[in-house]
């Protein structure tokens, strides 16, 4: 039986619902809904434990705001006695087109403040990340507005498909391991 900490990054508050920056929360919501769980507010996060195929997923949505996500990740890793290879952080990524997902065993924060916070607290960038491509279709100087903006109506069907595929990817991460899952999903171009 494997136990995993699955962390979705996002900001708390209704004004952030449905924004590109909150896709980590949306993926976790879909995972938890699929497996019949309900989040409850705990220390530094909304948390739920779900069981699936002899695996346990401790699903965490930090309530610290994205920029302080490291505090919640470290707290829940310690509480659940989990090592870095059993942690997966789901995050939005400007550098990837909307058609892509990318799973990595490590890698830089790429300017993402949530990943930067986790890296500082853990003292390493070698922890698994699922990067959800959001594209970078914004005018110069408008990055924050784009990231904190809501999805365009035309993007939503593809976003929903990728959220569903992200849930499958997380399940594969637990059952098949990171290498096999990377080989299966990183090459895919998602279209409708």
Question: Each residue of 146-155: pLDDT tens digit?
Answer: 999 999 999 9
- Please report whether residue 33 resides in a domain: yes
- Check 21, 35, 55, 112 and give the catalytic one: 21
Residue 104 confidence (pLDDT) above 80: yes
Concerning whether 35 is annotated as a catalytic residue, the answer is no
pTM for this entry: 0.96
- Residue 104 and residue 66 in contact, taking contact as beta carbons nearer than 8 Å: no
Taking only the tens place, the pLDDT of each residue in 131-140 is 999 999 898 9
Residue at 192 is within a domain: no
Asked if pLDDT for residue 1 goes beyond 80, the answer is no
In a domain, 191, yes or no: no
What is the edge-to-edge ordering of all strands in the sheet holding 87-93? Answer: 40-42, 45-52, 55-62, 2-8, 87-93, 129-133, 101-104
Q: Residue 39 in contact with residue 48, Cβ under 8 Å?
A: yes
Task: Please determine, for residue 84, whether its predicted confidence score (pLDDT) is greater than 90.
Answer: yes
| Residue 89 buriedness (CB in 10 A; 0-12 / 13-18 / 19+) | buried
Q: Given this model, what pLDDT does residue 183 score?
A: 97
Q: How confident is the model at residue 178 (pLDDT cuts 50, 70, 90)?
A: very high
Mean pLDDT of 147-167: 96
The answer to whether position 190 is within a domain reads no
Range of the domain at 110: 2-185
Q: What is the 3-state secondary structure (H, E, C) of 132-177?
A: EECCCCCCCCCHHHHHCCECCCCCHHHHHHHHHHHHHHHHHHHHHC
Q: Does 176 fall in a domain? A: yes
With contact defined as beta carbons under 8 Å apart, do 129 and 107 qualify?
Answer: yes
Q: How would residue 192 be classed by pLDDT, with cut points 50, 70 and 90?
A: confident
pLDDT of residue 65: 87
Long-range contacts of range 142-146, CB-CB < 8 Å, 24 or more positions apart?
143/94, 146/20, 146/94
CA–CA gap between residue 183 and residue 187 (Å, rounded) = 7
- Mean pLDDT on 88-94: 97
* Domains of the chain: total: 1
Q: What is the CATH number of the domain that holds 73?
A: 3.40.50.1470
């Amino acid at each position: 039986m494997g136990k995993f900490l699955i962390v979705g990054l996002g900001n708390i508050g209704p004004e952030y619902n449905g924004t590109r920056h909150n896709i980590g929360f949306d993926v976790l919501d879909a995972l938890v809904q699929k497996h019949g769980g309900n989040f409850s507010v705990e220390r530094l996060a909304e948390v739920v434990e779900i069981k699936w195929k002899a695996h346990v997923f401790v699903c965490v949505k930090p309530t610290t705001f994205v920029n302080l996500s490291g505090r919640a990740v470290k707290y829940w890793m310690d509480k659940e006695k989990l090592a870095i290879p059993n942690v997966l952080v789901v995050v939005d990524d400007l550098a990837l087109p909307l058609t892509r997902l990318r799973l990595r065993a490590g890698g830089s924060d790429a300017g993402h403040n949530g990943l930067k916070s986790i890296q500082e607290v853990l003292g390493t960038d070698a922890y698994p990340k699922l990067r959800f491509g959001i594209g970078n279709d914004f005018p110069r100087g408008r990055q924050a507005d784009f990231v904190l903006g809501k999805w365009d109506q035309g993007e939503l069907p593809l976003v929903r498909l990728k959220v569903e595929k992200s849930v499958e990817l997380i399940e594969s991460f637990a059952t098949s391991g990171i290498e096999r899952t990377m080989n299966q999903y990183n090459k895919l171009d998602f279209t409708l």
